[in-house]
Structure 1
Amino acid sequence: MKDEDFATYGLQPPPARIDPPNSPRDVAEILDRSIASAPDAEALVEASQRMTFAQVGSAVESVTTLFEQAGLKPGDRIAASLGNTCDLVIAFFAAMRLGAVWVGINKILPAGDKRYILDHSGAKLLLADASIAGQIDSLRGELSALAHVWVIDEPARDGGWHAARTMESQARASRPPVDPYAPAAIMYTSGTTGVPKGVVHSQHNMVVVPAATFAHGILSPDASRGAALPLTITNVMILGPISAFFAIRPFKFGPSTKVAPLVEWLHAEQIGQIAFVPTMVYDLLQAGLDLPPGLSLGAGGAPLPQVIREAFFNRYGFHIGTSYGLTEAPTVVAISGDQITPDGASGLAVPHMDVTIRSEDGRVLPIGETGEVCFGPVSEGPWAGVYTPPLGYWREPERTAALLRGGVVHSGDHGRLNEEGWLTIADRSSELILRGGSNVYPAEIERILHRHDDVADCAVVGRPDLRMGMLTVACVLPARPGIDADALRDELRALCAEHLTRYKIPDEWRFFEEFPRNAMGKVVKPKLRELVAPTI
């Protein structure tokens, strides 16, 4: 793809084109290498089937052919809204082999969000299943670019999927050359900050994640990998099947995000590495279940409270891996590994990336000062210039320019670095509460509230106020039914008074039986703001 072509989609070309050392150049090549090295080794394992690399390769070849026969070509957007199955992974690798642009859509998203993503991306094909077919049918009239909807578990509507998967079609894909630096995936943000933005990454960006994390010993290439989180979240696809295939190891589908069947599966399949969201870690500790020996467990998707980290170590004898990552990276920017983290810290910068804290005018701030977290490639060593930033936001050139200004990625998050390089996130700039002219960072208050044993989860949001501009509202999810809310409020207020400056103590307290959450388990704060907003 020529540099001038990126602007057509509101994007910017990569600042450099340096392939990762000793690594495949693109995602399709990762699968090709695995097939050549270990054709009969297990590649995908789900409850109903186990596939070798040779079988996955054959299925990917047939599905790529099917895509071509449907008129799809490099650069076309292929969307999928499927559960975690072999079919989803096969479709993804077929899209990469074709040079198409992947658009993952979580099944649980409401119809309005699905319509927006399909329309905004200009998807030409949607892969779905019968459970959401009716929902999609109701949207077809609003989606002029959507030429095909294949309901892959309904033979009359599957577009030839079943025949392709069972090798009844003998035609072979043309295998066009893949540009590893061209757009390859539009990763829509979870919507916690409003209308989803489509972050665009190349196949190069996806390959660099396992190439760098394995090369630097951050993740183990020998571990058996699994996931229970939705693979339609492309970050999960990168850390799951892409990373597993890079290491020529199998990827295994978790049965559920519920901890009891998940832990049973961890033992049965001898999983070596997996990531939980914080709510799953909390449920694990409440259940008191034993983990299999040798497991490396990471937490992501949202900050993990320090009290939960300490409780996990006391129960299991090893440190849960915490990290800071975002869709724009993709995946992780900083990670702790099995190290003791300073209170509230997320991790140390991954070795192929340079993390800086910057002021509003782009100046690099001194150690210990809070500013915007920015990142880019390291400038020295064998990984110099290998990391490339996102190509931008799909069809949003002004947002792309703001994201990539000054030659670094601007995360929109506030944080600070200490002398040892530990990164602590203060909060998202969009969640900052301006109370009476003073900055209140919700994450700082949330870390204090999480220390109380009777708090299962919490979220701090602002609500408009005529006098103060904004007031601080603490939303609390009690750890068990029947807790005296008034007594708990008084204890939490006292806890805040002990550890926080007076103006940071919440003005209001709200107690909930459940929080609105997205697919990654993050609390959807815009919805909370609506719930606590004063009625007019």
Structure 2
Amino acid sequence: MTDTIPRLLRDAADRFGGAPAYVEGDRVLPFTQLHDLVRATAAGYRARGLEPGGRVVVWAPNSINWVVAALAVSYAGGTLVPVNSRYTGHEVADVVDRTGATLVLVADGFLGRTQVADLRAASDLARVADIIEITDLDAVAVPAGDLGVIDGVADAVSPDDVADILFTSGTTGRSKGAMSAHRQTIGVAMAWAELGGVRSEDRYLVVNPFFHSFGYKIGIVVGLLTGATLYPVATFDLDETMALIETAQISLLPGAPTIYQSLLNAPGRTDRDLSSLRLAVTGAAVVPVVLIERMRAPAPEGLGIDQVVTAFGMTEAVVATMCREDDSAETVATTCGRAIPGMEARIDAPDGEAGELLLRGDYVMLGYLDDPAATAEAIDADGWLHTGDVGTLDEAGNLRITDRLKDMYISGGFNVYPAEVEQALARLDGVADVAVVGVPDERMGEVGKAYVVRTDPGPTTGLTAEAVVAFCKERLANFKVPRHVEFVDGLPRNLSGKVLKTQLRSS
């Protein structure tokens, strides 16, 4: 098995040669050229101060340049730190400072924002040697004749070196960096690809963002393993997505349930030929049985996707369970499948009862960056990862998630941790107390609802729902911003002072 990302990249160039690795608009990038660009960019990183073990933050939407920029980090012996393309400058600056990143790659101007200026305003970036515009990688690249040293650096990368640090918020509101080794990032991608039957002739539309483990490991790394051609999508547009599926004959389309619901309800869908779709993998939220049935049903009633499966994963373990090709629609919709090879799942409760889901195996993270206490709390002495999710396992080993120990909710496929939103709102003038919960939403699965206690409860107060939302938009990524605001006289609490969020959700 190819056990480091640099060796995987080189192996993919040898195996798949001139076959297209990526297609983005009119740009087609073969595997051999991908390898060449990554080598040259990695050498450029080294010239700008990146040493083996150094960290590089990538803050940008999906693109071929994102792939080159990220793979070059590994090729230079560094550690990739992807961040959400919709994060604010304050959120990214926190990650940059905590990782001590040497380089930051940015898509300045994405969504009409000023990322570089926002980042500099939020931090002095004391340890950053350079901020690089991701669309200008040619200016970073080193000429081909000067690449001998960087090939040696790539060869020295070990399977146990930290390949990536993906940040996930904790219930305290402060993000934690989950570290994975090269062997883990590659191994989990291989397990997923084998269960899904991904092959070189597949055309894979990557709607999942590359900064997420699903887009990076189950997208980019799967492509290198299988030779599938990836089509990166920067922002999801329904009409453009349907047109691309039709014209490019897309065969793979993993994503959150909202993607498929949008396709099924799209005006003009029946006028499109989407019959090339053969594999869809979904999860991250409750999936209605009828959605799976419609995804599998032939057109015009459905999407006619041959294989539809669900899976369970998290940043700390990427993919832990997955349905199989011959599972029924009921099994796919109501469970997350069985443990994948290399992983174990058990419930911390007597047989047949619901309890906390524990995971153990090859793909559980190495630990949280610079946080041994949080690591010890998450992974016990026997190697079991305590997920914070409550579920059951049936006789066949299929996992059913029934509740959450944490207050996290999932909006459009992204985890949202209310404590982080609450901490932001606590800084808003006029807020005396606040609690955020997830509430059902037909399109997004769940969205945030903020219950706000004003410091001035009188009718002349200046604090409005619009002001609450606007304040959040300045400080938080869009998917974290509450969609609903309700002003209340007080929050329900138990005797220890904890907010009774179950009571809020049922109100």
Please classify the TM superposition score into its range, dividing by the shorter chain length.
0.7 to 0.9
The letter of the residue matching 1:475 is V
Q: Is the 8 A contact 2:169 2:417 kept in 1?
A: no
Deviations 1:110-164 (A, max 9, x none): 22211211122221110113312222232342x32222211244xxxx6xx3234
Report what 2:439 is aligned to: 475
Question: What is the letter of the counterpart of residue 240 of structure 1?
Answer: G
1:154-202, CA deviations, whole angstroms, 9 ceiling, x for partnerless residues?
xxxx6xx32344x646421252201111211110116787322111111
Name the counterpart of 1:390. Answer: 365
Contact kept, 8 Å, 1:254 with 1:265, in 2: the verdict is no
SS at match of 1:322: strand
Residue 339 of structure 1: aligned partner: 327
Output one character per residue of 1:27-49: Cα deviation in whole Å (capped at 9) or x when no partner: 11111111122321211211141
Q: 1:534 to 1:310 in 2, by over 3 A?
A: farther
Amino acid in structure 2 at the alignment position of 1:375:
L
Select which of 261, 276, 279 maps to 2:240: 261
The two structures have a TM-score, normalised by structure 1, of 0.71
1:138 aligns with 2:113: no
1:330 paired with 2:330, answer: no
Cα deviation, residue 266, structure 1: 1.4
Q: Counterparts in 2 of 1:82-231, with a 5 A limit?
A: 82-131=60-109, 132-141=115-124, 143-153=125-135, 161-165=137-141, 168=143, 170-172=145-147, 173-176=150-153, 177-189=156-168, 194-215=173-194, 217-222=195-200, 223-231=202-210
Q: CA deviation at 1:59?
A: 0.8
- CA shift in 2, pair 1:476/1:43, >3 Å: closer
**Distance in 2, Cα, partners of 1:148 & 1:320:** 44
Q: How does 1:430-469 map to 2 (within 5 A)?
A: 430-431=406-407
- Which residue identity lines up with residue 67 of structure 1 in the other structure? Y
RCO comparison, higher one (Cα < 8 Å, 6+): 1
1:353–1:218 distance in 2 versus 1, CA, 3 Å: farther
Q: Would you say the 8 A contact 1:322–1:337 is kept in 2?
A: no
Structure 1: give runs of 5+ residues left out of the alignment.
1-22, 360-364, 378-386, 433-441, 447-458, 465-470, 480-513
2:21 to 40, 43, 65: 43
Rounded to whole Å, the distance in 2 between the matches of 1:147 and 1:250 is 34
Contact 1:99/1:179 (<8 A) preserved: no
Which residue matches 2:396?
420
Instruction: Determine the structure 2 residue equivalent to 1:34.
Output: 12
Partner of 1:320: 308
What is the SS of the residue equivalent to 2:173?
coil
Q: Which residue of 1 aligns with 2:376?
A: 401
Match of 2:360 in 1: 376
- 1: distance between equivalents of 2:35 and 2:102? 24
Question: Is the Cα–Cα contact under 8 Å of residues 84 and 230 in structure 1 kept in the other structure?
Answer: yes
**What's the offset of the Cα at 1:334?**
2.9
SS of 2:336's equivalent? strand
- The structural deviation recorded for 1:303 is 3.1
* Aligned residues of 1:412 and 1:430 also touching (Cα < 8 A): yes
Q: Is the 8 A contact 2:61 2:234 kept in 1?
A: no
Say whether the 8 Å CA contact 1:336–1:347 is kept in structure 2. yes
Q: Distance in 2 between matches of 1:461 and 1:189?
A: 13
Letter in 2 for 1:242: V
The yes-or-no answer on 1:292 pairing with 2:279 is no
Instruction: Tell me how far apart the structure 2 counterparts of residues 42 and 291 of structure 1 sit (CA, whole Å).
Output: 22
| Counterpart check, 1:350 vs 2:337 | no
Shift of 1:376: 1.8
Distance 1:299 1:395 in 2: 32
Offset of 1:227 from its aligned partner?
0.2
Q: 1:279 aligns with which of 249, 254, 258?
A: 258
Measured after TM superposition, the shift of residue 478 of structure 1 is: 6.1
C-alpha RMSD of the superposition: 3.4
Provide the rounded CA distance (Å) in 2 between the counterparts of 1:460 and 1:98: 34
- Whether contact under 8 Å (1:323, 1:334) holds in the other structure is yes
Cα drift, residue 389 of structure 1: 2.2
Cα separation, 2, equivalents of 1:473 and 1:202: 34
Task: Note if contact 2:342-2:363 (Cα within 8 Å) is conserved in structure 1.
Answer: no
Number of the residue aligned with 1:510? none
Work out whether 1:243 is the aligned partner of 2:222: yes
What residue identity is the alignment partner of 2:278? L
Which structure 2 segments of 5+ residues have no match?
Answer: 110-114, 423-434, 444-468, 491-507
**Cα deviation code 1:435-471 (max 9, x no counterpart):** xxxxxxx99xx9xxxxxxxxxxxx9999x9xxxxxx9
The whole-number CA distance in structure 2 between the counterparts of 1:90 and 1:170 is 19
Q: Where does residue 488 of structure 2 map in the other structure?
A: 534
- Provide closer, same or farther for how the CA distance between residues 68 and 271 of structure 1 changes in structure 2, counting only shifts above 3 A: same
Question: Which segment drifts farther, 171-180 or 285-294?
Answer: 285-294
TM-aligned CA deviation for residue 101 of structure 1: 0.8
Deviation at 1:476, TM superposition (A): 4.4
Gap change, CA 1:263 and 1:395, over 3 Å in 2: same
For 2:152, the aligned partner's letter is: R
Q: Structure 2 CA distance, aligned partners of 1:150 and 1:276?
A: 30
Count of equivalent residues: 422
Task: Choose which of 284, 288, 303 in structure 1 pairs with 2:286.
Answer: 303
What amino acid maps onto 1:369 in structure 2? E
SS at match of 2:211: coil
Task: Between 307-316 and 31-40, report the one with greater CA deviation.
Answer: 307-316
Partner SS state of residue 421, structure 1: coil
Q: Which amino acid aligns with 1:371?
A: G
Deviation at 1:388, TM superposition (A): 4.3
8 Å CA contact 2:52–2:77 kept in 1: the answer is yes
What fraction of aligned residue pairs are identical, expressed as a percent?
23
TM-score norm. by structure 2 comes to 0.75
In the superposition, relative to structure 1, how do residues 193 and 265 fare at CA in structure 2: closer, same or farther (>3 Å)? farther
How far 1:255 sits from its partner (Å)? 6.0
Amino acid at match of 1:353: M
